[in-house]
């Protein structure tokens, strides 16, 4: 079943479906870039985090800005590769104000883990569809949907719609076709994806947690790409992904708006949980576009167990 047909089967609102399909078009074009080796090398610029941008980062960002810019339904856009959010389709009102036709605001990490492309590891695109308006002050729990692409041996797409579950689609010659409907994450499962192991040196709680996983003979599944690592949990239906803070970065490396909130939304729609160690990431308010957050996400009991080492 085609993506657009499947979205209709669970009553996806028409305007939301249109934006999801625009995101899917963007993913289709980014996949072509990633898989054909176009746009390799450095762009000669830095993003808001001071990270050197790859030509692939900039090209992927431009693709999403294009497909979303063509959508009159999009109000604000924000990207990990841009310094600030952009207000689209703004027209001046007779009273001298500004208004937009947009209905949704869309935040994205156009190519998460892009530095892994040159070693041919899987990477991904993370897209969050929020209600209209600025992202500042919003919470990931307000999202309408998440669209998450995995560029690996195959290109696959997760679409999670609020209250309607998380579903996987495979890019075929005939477009995105339903592969797995209503993914389910069990409460327990012995896979672990331990990000930022460097923190073990100064954070004994993390060292004890890793020792627990080793003692209990958990299976390590960590690639350094958040999207493929969480893809593994979603498709195997169990496991835990962690990226805690550390001394000089108490909130860790991953961004609430562009990565942690969106990935958690898809995990929760599949029956898992996602926390910063103290609260659900869906309830964590976006105070700044570049806000970072620790993340513990996946099987409910595995996440709770992991967090228990830090209290």
- What is the binding site for ligand P6P (CB under 6 A)? 112-113, 195-196, 224-226, 253-254
CA angle 166, 11, 298 (to 5 degrees): 15
Rounded least distance, CB 34 to ligand P6P, Å? 14
Q: Give me the least distance between CB of 231 and ligand P6P, in Å please.
A: 11
Please state the closest distance from residue 112 (CB atom) to ligand P6P, in A. Answer: 5
**Rounded (10°) CA dihedral 282, 283, 289, 294:** -70
Of 125 and 196, nearer to ligand P6P (C-beta) is 196
Residue nearest to ligand P6P (CB): 226
Per the rule left: phi > 0, alpha: psi between -120 and 50, beta: everything else, 209 is alpha
Nearer to ligand P6P, 98 or 247 (CB): 247
Q: Are 177 and 169 in contact (CB under 8 A)?
A: yes
Q: Which of 135, 145, 26 is nearest to 85 (CA)?
A: 135
**Residue 291: DSSP 8-state:** -
Judged by CB, which is closer to ligand P6P: 19, or 128? 128
Are the CB atoms for 143 and 128 separated by under 8 Å?
yes
Torsion of CA 183, 161, 115, 252, to 10 degrees: -90
The Cα–Cα gap between 239 and 188 comes to: 7
Closest separation between CB of residue 91 and ligand P6P, Å?
37
**Least Å distance between CB 90 and ligand P6P?**
31
Q: Which is nearer to ligand P6P, 99 or 219 (CB)?
A: 219
Minimum distance of ligand P6P from residue 194's CB (angstroms): 9
Query: Cβ closer to ligand P6P: 13 or 51?
Result: 51
Give the Cα separation of 137 and 123 in Å (integer).
29
Q: 48: alpha, beta or left, given left = phi > 0 and alpha = psi -120 to 50?
A: alpha
Cβ closest to ligand P6P, residue 75 vs residue 259: 259
């Amino acid at each position: 079943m085609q993506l657009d047909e499947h979205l209709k089967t669970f009553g996806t609102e028409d305007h939301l479906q249109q934006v999801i399909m625009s995101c899917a078009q963007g993913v289709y074009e980014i996949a072509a870039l990633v898989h054909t080796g176009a746009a390799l090398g450095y762009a000669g610029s830095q993003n808001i985090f001071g990270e050197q941008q790859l030509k692939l980062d900039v090209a992927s960002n431009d693709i999403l800005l294009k497909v979303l810019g063509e959508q009159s339904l999009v109000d604000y856009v924000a990207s990990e590769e841009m310094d600030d959010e952009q207000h689209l389709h703004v027209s001046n009102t007779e009273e001298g104000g500004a208004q937009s036709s947009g209905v949704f605001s869309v935040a994205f990490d156009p190519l998460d883990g892009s530095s892994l492309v040159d070693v041919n590891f899987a990477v991904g695109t993370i897209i969050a569809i929020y209600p209209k308006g600025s992202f500042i002050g919003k919470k990931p729990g307000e999202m309408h949907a998440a669209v998450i692409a995995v560029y690996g041996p195959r290109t696959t797409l997760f679409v999670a719609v609020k209250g309607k579950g998380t579903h996987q689609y495979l890019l075929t010659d005939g477009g995105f076709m339903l592969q797995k409907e209503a993914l389910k994450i069990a409460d327990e499962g012995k896979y672990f994806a331990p990000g930022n192991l460097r923190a073990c040196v100064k954070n004994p709680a993390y060292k004890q947690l890793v020792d627990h996983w080793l003692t209990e003979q958990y299976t390590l599944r960590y690639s350094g790409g958040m999207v493929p690592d969480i893809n593994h949990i979603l498709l195997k239906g169990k496991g835990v992904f962690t990226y805690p803070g550390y001394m000089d970065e108490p909130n860790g490396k991953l961004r609430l708006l562009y990565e942690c909130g969106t990935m958690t939304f898809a995990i929760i729609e599949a029956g898992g949980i996602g926390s910063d160690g103290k609260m659900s990431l869906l309830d964590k308010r976006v105070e700044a576009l570049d806000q970072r957050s620790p993340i513990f996400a996946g099987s409910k009991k595995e996440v709770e167990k992991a967090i228990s080492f830090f209290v």
